[in-house]
Amino acid sequence: MLTTVIQHILLIFFILVLVMIAQKLKIAYPIILVLGGLGLSMLRLFPSIEINPELILLIFLPPLLYEAAWYTSWKELWRWRRVISIFAFLIVIVTSGVVAVVSHALIPGFSLALGFVLGGIVSPPDAVSATTILKYVKVPKRISAILEGESLMNDASSLIVFTFARTAVTTGVFVLHEAATGFVVAIVMGIAIGLLVALLYYAVHRWLPTGTEMDVILTLTAPYVMYITAEYFHGSGVLAVVSGGLFLSSRSQHILSYRSRLQGANVWATLGFMLNGLVFMLIGLELPVIIKELGTVSLSEAIKYGVIITVVLIVTRLLCTLSASAFTVFISRYITTADSRPGWKGPVIIGWAGMRGVVSLAAALSIPVYMDNGALFPQRNLILFITFTVILLTLVAQGLSLPFVIKWVDMEDPDKHLSVEEQERIIRDRLLEGSIRFLDNHYPEEVKANPALKQLREDLEHRKTVSMHNKIEGVDHLLYKKVYLKMLNHQRSVLHELNKDPATAHELIRKYHELVDIEEEILRMKYEPAS
């Protein structure tokens, strides 16, 4: 037991070191973690790590999807709803079908049902991989919005395909119209259950006396309740988590206190980072187990199959994205579309950003070792190896080359958004003007009579004047931030000295340390670009 605990602590330290290396090299950390896990597996520093396949989807998927949904822009999701729907459902089904046909023709003894199992596993691009890599490159906002929206939705369609195909393998029965009906029911049931569970959580947050700690704990349980409930009633657990997360996120200002939002954001950022780190490291560490259990298939043959399926996936996705662009041009003659002339540059970027990752690994590992009749699940380990190869090649090859593809395409932002600095200036001005107007309209007499309120209004007027002055002459914000940060550090030193005085309560010192920390966070958020 003690050895296992030590090994897991060491694994966490390895993850942290690899992420720091990735940040230093300015490479998306999923790539480094997969390669690092692969290296550790070859050095055999850790024993074979195996996770119960029935629990892998339940452990990792709900919280990762919930966090992604919580921070997804609903207005961007709605704006690109048609494109996202095509990518998340139609293209996933087409890709699964192509992989099924190719693998059935390519691999001896590989039935069409097994091909759809493999297709359902490897068809969805990974949300974390794409969004993490896009942080290091500059792409039009619409590209990021489409990729994020697609990766939220496509997990549902791929897992439904995977589930039906797995059932067909284990039972030997597949009826097309029943599968199609079940597909629609799973989608509708998933969304409905997600919204119903979200409404229940909304009521608890809104009308029961929950505190900060209880609010955070409730947000941690929400994705699991949504996922488990939907799966129990044969709905899509993925869509339940996504729809419920979007609903609660859009109402977070009404149901959560400021402290709950701050602490919840910190908790979720840490949890998401650790889960992502563990699952990407797990991809590399699983290799020895997968190779050892390949059985009659040689390693060279397995690698060949994995490379061919990877190429098929990349080509199919590129053809699908370009075809979707052509279809948009055609259909825009009859209906209003968000962009009637999408061109080829955006589809090429989106097509090349199809890295596989967490969901594919989770689905592959969830394949049962034995079927209902007690026989071994056919070709399970070969499917695992091909999945591993697809994840490794798409993450490393496409992930590392994506910045160069974006540079080669050289796509200008067709939406011509204001710069981040201009948008922030508009927001600050609107907040200042609105605050002054609020005080003048609702508390004019109180402002005149109360010195503190009068000073508050004068401070707001001063900030407004400074903001207007900045537009004309500009200010050295770097110097301002540098001096301000040094002043805050000096305040911490003063608090440290005050804490030595026995007459000063330690709780008050800690309170003012927190206030200084919050002030620094506000300063950094104000003068550093939004990410």
Instruction: For residue 338, give the 3-state DSSP assignment.
Output: coil
Looking at per-residue confidence, does 348 or 467 come out higher? Answer: 348
Least confident span in 138-142, 145-149, 179-183, 228-232: 179-183
Annotate 518-528 with b (16+ C-beta within 10 A) or e (fewer). eebeeeeeeee
Give the Cα separation of 72 and 68 in Å (integer). Answer: 6
Question: CA-based angle 196:200:206, to the nearest 5?
Answer: 135
Band of pLDDT at residue 410, cut at 50, 70 and 90: confident
Looking at per-residue confidence, does 142 or 180 come out higher? Answer: 142
Residue with tokens 């149901």: 255
Give the Cα separation of 57 and 223 in Å (integer). Answer: 12
Looking at per-residue confidence, does 424 or 344 come out higher? Answer: 344
Give the Cα separation of 313 and 390 in Å (integer). Answer: 9
The confidence score (pLDDT) of residue 141 equals 80
* CB atoms near residue 33 (< 10 Å): 26
Tokens representing residue 347 in the block: 């589809």
- Evaluate if residue 466 carries a pLDDT over 80: no
- Could you tell me the residue ranges of all domains in the chain? 2-409
Looking at per-residue confidence, does 41 or 212 come out higher? Answer: 212
Backbone angles phi, psi at 104, to 5 degrees: -65, -40
Q: How far apart are the first and last CA of the chain?
A: 41
Integer CA distances (angstroms), 80 to 54, 76, 289, 418, in order: 34, 6, 41, 20
- Evaluate if residue 477 carries a pLDDT over 80: no
Least confident span in 246-250, 297-301, 361-365: 361-365
The confidence score (pLDDT) of residue 195 equals 96
What is the Rg, in whole angstroms, of the alpha carbon atoms belonging to the chain?
A: 26
Q: Which residues lie below 8 Å from residue 70, measured CB to CB, with a gap of 6+? A: 245, 248, 249, 252, 268
Which residue, 521, 493, 525, 529, is CA-closest to 509? 493
Average pLDDT score over residue span 183-197: 91
Polymer length of the chain: 531
Which residue, 256, 262, 258, 251, is CA-closest to 195? 251
- Evaluate if residue 518 carries a pLDDT over 90: no
Average pLDDT score over residue span 227-232: 93
> What single string gives the DSSP state of each residue in 147-215?
HHHHHHHHHHHHHHHHHHHHHHHHHS---HHHHHHHHHHHHHHHHHHHHHHHHHHHHHHHHS---HHHH
The confidence score (pLDDT) of residue 426 equals 80
Tokens representing residue 68 in the block: 């992604």
The confidence score (pLDDT) of residue 475 equals 57
Average pLDDT score over residue span 19-44: 83
* CB atoms near residue 229 (< 10 Å): 18
Looking at per-residue confidence, does 371 or 149 come out higher? Answer: 149
List, for residues 61-78, the tens digit of each pLDDT value. Answer: 899 889 888 888 787 888
- Three-state secondary structure along 27-67? CCHHHHHHHHHHHHHHHCCCCCCCCCCCCHHHHHHHHHHHH
Which residue, 309, 494, 469, is CA-closest to 389? 309
Tokens representing residue 240 in the block: 């339940």
Give the Cα separation of 501 and 506 in Å (integer). Answer: 9
Please, what is the average pLDDT of the chain?
83
What percent of the chain lies above the pLDDT cut of 70?
A: 89
Band of pLDDT at residue 174, cut at 50, 70 and 90: low
- Evaluate if residue 121 carries a pLDDT over 50: yes
The confidence score (pLDDT) of residue 402 equals 85
Looking at per-residue confidence, does 263 or 42 come out higher? Answer: 263
Average pLDDT score over residue span 456-480: 70
Integer CA distances (angstroms), 194 to 70, 242, 252, 414, in order: 13, 8, 16, 35
The confidence score (pLDDT) of residue 263 equals 87
The confidence score (pLDDT) of residue 472 equals 47
Band of pLDDT at residue 197, cut at 50, 70 and 90: very high
Q: What is the DSSP letter of 504?
A: S
Q: Which residues lie below 8 Å from residue 376, measured CB to CB, with a gap of 6+? A: 369, 370
Looking at per-residue confidence, does 56 or 516 come out higher? Answer: 516
Q: Which amino acid is at 39?
A: G
Give the Cα separation of 76 and 321 in Å (integer). Answer: 19
Backbone CA torsion sign across 266, 268, 271, 272: negative
2-409 CATH: 1.20.1530.20
